[in-house]
C-alpha cells in the first residue's frame, strides 16, 4: 500500500497572478498535492540560479509555467524582453526540471502558426510560421524545452479569457455597456479558450503523470511528452465572439463587422488559428466544452 507521503508531490505554478495561474489556484484547492504559486515577486524565472535553486530546494516534481510576455504589440518594440521571458526563462525552467527529474508543463500559443494560410484546423505537427515578435519568442521557448530534453508537455492555446486580469471578454463587456456602436474584426477566425477549462485539462495531465509513475515520481516518464493543442470547441470570428458577449451581458450595443486593416497593427495576427484538439482529447479521454457553454459560465461568475 502507498502511504500518504508517497501520494503527495510538490507542484510549482509560475505566473500565478495571471489568468491561467488564478484558475490553477481554484482547480487545485482540493488536491492532495502541495501547490506552490509564484509570480515575479516570489521567483524571478529570468534568473537561472534562482530557478535552479527553487526547484531543487522545494523538491518540485511538476512545473506548470503560466508566466509569459503576452502583449503582442509591445513585443514588436521590446523583443529582447519578450525573448527573455518567453524563451530564455523557459529554457531555465527546462534545465531545472531535467536536473531534478521533474516534468515541465508549458503554455504556448496559436501565434506560432501566424503566417500559415488555409482554413484547416492546425495540428501539432503542422509546420510553424510565426509572423511577429510574440510568436517568434513563444516558438523559441518551445524549442528551448526540446533542446534541453526534459520531460515536457507543451500546450498551445488561443484567445484565452477568464474572470481574472485583462482579456477580450472583459473588454467587450465594458465597451458594449459604454457605447451605442462598436466595430469588431470578422476576418480573424479561431476559437476562444476559457482558462478554467484549460486548468482542468492540466490537472488531468498531472493525475496521469502520478499514476503512470506509480505515485513515486522517482523516474521521469516520457510517454506523455510532446506538444498538445487545447481550446474550446467551435469556430468563430472575433465579431461573433463580441456579439455573444454583448448579448449574454445584457447590453444593447450595435456591433458591426469590419476588416483587420481598419485597425493598423505592428504585427500580423493569425487570420485562421483554429486548433485541432484530437490528440489531447484522446490522450486525456475528455470532452471539451463548446465555447458558448464556457462563455456563459465565465460571464455568470463576472
Domains of the chain: residue spans and CATH: 4-166+192-232+275-288 (3.40.50.720)
d(CA 248, CA 233) in angstroms, rounded, equals 18
pLDDT at 220 over 60: no
Render pLDDT for 112-153 as a digit per residue (tens, 0 to 9). Answer: 999 999 999 999 999 999 999 999 999 999 999 999 999 999
Cβ atoms 65, 105 nearer than 8 A: yes
pLDDT at 216 over 70: no
Alpha-carbon dihedral 198, 199, 202, 208, rounded to 10 degrees: -120
Average pLDDT, the chain: 94
DSSP 8-state class, residue 297:
H
At 217 the pLDDT is 45
At 221 the pLDDT is 52
pLDDT at 215 over 50: no
d(CA 155, CA 280) in angstroms, rounded, equals 9
Can you tell me the mean pLDDT for 55-62? 97
Question: Exposure of 279 by Cβ count < 10 A (0-12 exposed, 13-18 middle, 19+ buried)?
Answer: middle
Q: What is the share, in percent, of the chain residues with pLDDT greater than 90?
A: 90
At 7 the pLDDT is 61
CA distances from 145 to 53, 66, 91, 285, 286 (A): 19, 15, 6, 26, 26
d(CA 302, CA 167) in angstroms, rounded, equals 13
pLDDT at 202 over 90: yes
Can you tell me the mean pLDDT for 200-206? 97
Q: What is the share, in percent, of the chain residues with pLDDT greater than 70?
A: 94
At 161 the pLDDT is 98
At 218 the pLDDT is 45
pLDDT category of residue 1 using cuts at 50, 70 and 90: very low
At 63 the three-state DSSP class reads: strand
Render pLDDT for 227-275 as a digit per residue (tens, 0 to 9). Answer: 999 999 999 999 999 999 999 999 999 999 999 999 988 898 999 999 9
For 107, list phi and psi in degrees, rounded to 5. Answer: -95, 120
At 232 the pLDDT is 98
Cβ atoms 253, 97 nearer than 8 A: no
Quickly list DSSP for 128-159: P---SHHHHHHHHHHHHHHHHT-EEEEEEE-S
pLDDT category of residue 223 using cuts at 50, 70 and 90: confident
Beta bridge partners of 151: 103
Number of H helices, E strands in the chain: 12, 12
Can you tell me the mean pLDDT for 67-93? 98
Q: SS3 helix, strand, coil % of the chain, rounded to 5?
A: 45, 20, 40
d(CA 152, CA 296) in angstroms, rounded, equals 32
Can you tell me the mean pLDDT for 278-290? 97
CA distances from 183 to 24, 36, 51, 172, 239 (A): 34, 42, 44, 11, 8
> Could you tell me where the DSSP H helices lie in 154-255?
168-178, 195-212, 238-248
Name the residues annotated as catalytic.
Answer: 134
Can you tell me the mean pLDDT for 19-40? 97
pLDDT at 2 over 50: no
- Nearest Cα neighbor of 7 from 33, 38, 42 is 33
pLDDT category of residue 210 using cuts at 50, 70 and 90: confident
d(CA 144, CA 108) in angstroms, rounded, equals 12
At 5 the pLDDT is 47
CA distances from 245 to 18, 263, 274 (A): 21, 21, 19
Amino acid at each position: 500500500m502507498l502511504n500518504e507521503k508517497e501520494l503527495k508531490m510538490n507542484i510549482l505554478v509560475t505566473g500565478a497572478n495571471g489568468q491561467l495561474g488564478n484558475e490553477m489556484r481554484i482547480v487545485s484547492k482540493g488536491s492532495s498535492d502541495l501547490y506552490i504559486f509564484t509570480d515575479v515577486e516570489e521567483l524571478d524565472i529570468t534568473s537561472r540560479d534562482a530557478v535552479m535553486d527553487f526547484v531543487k530546494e522545494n523538491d518540485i516534481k511538476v512545473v506548470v509555467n503560466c508566466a509569459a510576455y503576452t502583449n503582442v504589440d509591445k513585443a514588436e518594440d521590446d523583443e529582447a524582453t519578450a525573448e527573455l521571458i518567453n524563451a530564455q526563462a523557459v529554457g531555465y525552467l527546462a534545465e531545472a526540471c531535467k536536473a531534478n527529474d521533474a516534468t515541465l508543463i508549458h503554455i504556448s500559443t496559436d501565434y506560432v502558426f501566424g503566417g500559415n494560410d488555409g482554413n484547416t484546423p492546425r495540428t501539432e505537427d503542422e509546420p510553424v510560421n510565426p509572423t511577429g515578435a510574440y510568436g517568434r519568442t513563444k516558438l523559441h521557448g518551445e524549442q528551448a524545452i526540446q533542446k534541453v530534453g526534459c520531460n515536457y508537455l507543451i500546450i498551445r492555446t488561443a484567445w484565452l479569457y477568464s474572470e481574472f486580469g485583462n482579456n477580450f471578454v472583459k473588454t467587450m463587456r465594458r465597451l458594449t455597456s459604454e457605447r451605442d456602436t462598436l466595430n469588431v474584426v470578422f476576418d480573424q477566425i479561431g476559437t476562444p479558450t476559457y482558462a478554467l477549462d484549460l486548468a482542468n485539462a492540466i490537472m488531468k495531465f498531472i493525475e496521469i503523470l502520478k499514476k503512470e509513475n506509480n505515485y513515486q515520481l522517482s523516474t521521469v516518464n516520457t510517454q506523455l511528452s510532446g506538444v498538445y493543442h487545447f481550446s474550446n470547441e467551435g469556430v468563430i470570428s472575433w465579431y461573433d465572439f463580441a456579439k455573444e458577449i454583448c448579448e449574454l451581458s445584457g447590453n444593447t450595443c450595435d456591433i458591426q463587422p469590419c476588416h483587420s486593416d481598419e485597425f493598423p497593427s505592428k504585427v500580423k495576427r493569425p487570420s485562421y488559428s483554429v486548433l485541432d484538439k484530437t490528440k489531447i482529447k484522446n490522450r486525456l479521454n475528455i470532452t471539451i466544452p463548446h465555447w458558448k457553454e464556457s462563455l456563459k459560465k465565465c460571464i455568470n461568475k463576472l
